[in-house]
Amino acid sequence: MNEPRDFVTSCPIPIVDYPNVLLAHGSGGKLMHQLIEKIFRPAFQNSYLNQQHDGAVFEVEGKRLAFTTDSYVIRPIFFPGGDIGSLAVHGTVNDLAMCGAKPLFLSAGFVVEEGFPMESLWRVVQSMKQAAQAAGVEVVTGDTKVVDKGKGDGIFINTAGIGVLEHNRTIRPDQVKVGDTILLSGDIGRHGIAVMAVREGLQFDSAIESDSAAVHHLVLKLIGVGIQVHCLRDLTRGGLASALVEIARTSKTKIAIDETKVPVREDVKAACEILGLDPFYVANEGRFIAFVASKDVEHAITIMRNDPLGVSAEQIGKVEAGEAGLVTVRSQIGTSRILDMLTGEQLPRIC
């Protein structure tokens, strides 16, 4: 008799390669995708997960809702431009926004290490409160767990979010079409550099602050005026490069980017050079790319640049006919390189 089809007898990630989980398995790069593709997706397999989107969109009594979750393990918990509390709100709100949803409700789960200063917990929670109020969402349910001293690292937060889609558009990777224009909402690399600067003790003339922000107002404005938005992706772990490669692969299209159009602040560029980082792979927490129909590009750029979160928005590339999953970048001097996901870990625990 044949074995049941879903009966797996051995771990699909060869034990000789990775007998244990590495930090890089959480990086947003190749190893994390291997984990998702070989362990998580086959186990939980369903049509929602298979869309490889920032959240699941499903219908309840004629209304479309979006549902997402994210855990926050950033170190240090306080950094220029934010902290783990505001980040836990922005990150989840943004994942809902990337589904085209208006964020409504969040849950908050806290894992706190014994000995963590009560004053720090209070500051984190106040920051969450302010971020939620500013974003127009409510934290409606939660959980607290305390682990033994030395068995955690201060505080970890998980937030899940629910939002509603108030339009009939489908926004997800498989909607990307040849001819679409790719818009970037602003300069990249600030979140990762702000956090690394604290860790490495780097001093700049003026502090580089994280771009951490909730971007749903801007996204909903674009959708609301009728811009044909086909796909959205926030540029968190793995940065712009990983987001582009993920979408090219999921949508089975080829993407061509013009490097000179990608805004990176001079101080961020300099810090990347000192730290040996490529800004294309550095995390952001208030930046996204939008794949829009080319006829709507001028209108979309005008709306973005008129919003405080999109003042430096740029048209950075196009979706072209060609090898599925390929992302090419044209440099200042006219040469072309292929973008791939990182194999190792560039910046662990950045969000």
Residues near Mg ion (CB under 5 A): 54, 95, 234
Closest to 229 measured CA to CA, from 168, 284, 309, 306: 168
What is the distance between the alpha carbons of residues 311 and 291, in angstroms, rounded to a whole number?
18
What is the distance between the alpha carbons of residues 237 and 190, in angstroms, rounded to a whole number?
12
Q: Which is nearer to Mg ion, 183 or 271 (CB)?
A: 183
Say how many C-beta atoms besides its own lie within 10 A of residue 142's C-beta: 13
CB of 158 to Mg ion, least distance (A): 15
CB of 236 to Mg ion, least distance (A): 5
Q: Which is nearer to Mg ion, 233 or 254 (CB)?
A: 233
CB of 171 to Mg ion, least distance (A): 13
CB of 52 to Mg ion, least distance (A): 11
| SS3 state of residue 21 | coil
333 and 267 in contact (C-beta within 8 Å)? no
Q: Which is nearer to Mg ion, 93 or 255 (CB)?
A: 93
Q: Which is nearer to Mg ion, 30 or 53 (CB)?
A: 53
Q: Which is nearer to Mg ion, 31 or 112 (CB)?
A: 31
What is the distance between the alpha carbons of residues 78 and 311, in angstroms, rounded to a whole number?
26
Q: Which is nearer to Mg ion, 249 or 305 (CB)?
A: 249
CB of 220 to Mg ion, least distance (A): 17
What is the distance between the alpha carbons of residues 287 and 297, in angstroms, rounded to a whole number?
18
CB of 89 to Mg ion, least distance (A): 14
Q: Which two tokens stand for residue 135?
A: 């974003």
What is the distance between the alpha carbons of residues 351 and 335, in angstroms, rounded to a whole number?
33
Q: Which residues of 298-320 are buried (b: 16+ CB within 10 A; e: fewer)?
A: eebbebbeebebbeebbbbbbbe
